[in-house]
Structure 1
């Protein structure tokens, strides 16, 4: 079975290759029987990741390289601890809708 992950390097998919091969070997039909010798090979399966999933992956990997502002994190933690942190419901709703638009 072949799995095609467009946009992923071979390094990113290498971790799962052995598992798929081992599973396929365990489930492989026996070829030493007369019936197995007359059958045609099965078509290979493929998997395609949608454009939306690829866009999400690209955006998450580009954000993974962003630096963390330790001072800002400390300010937010302090505001949560003392009860002065305010949640902007409108902004959260807008971001959720933007995310939904990305999905489809």
Structure 2
């Protein structure tokens, strides 16, 4: 996977692909430690979910609930609990083979 760095030519980035800068790796733990120490106590991190992500989550929640057959789920749970749920190994194997053929 290629990563584009704005402001750098392809020659500058191509020479460094796949290489770890040992000096930066050595300094990373120290930089993290100093960042943690410089955070004032009592202050917490915050996360903001974008409006697009929130809309996507709302649409998934609205659609997801109608696609679930709650009666069937309850039947399967009851069968598992009382030990009567049977697994059809041949059917599972056949479905796995069908799926594998789709990937070819």
Q: Tell me the TM-score normalised to structure 2 length.
A: 0.41
Q: Tell me the TM-score normalised to structure 1 length.
A: 0.41
Higher Cα Rg, which structure = 2
Greater RCO structure (CA 8 Å; 6+ sep):
1
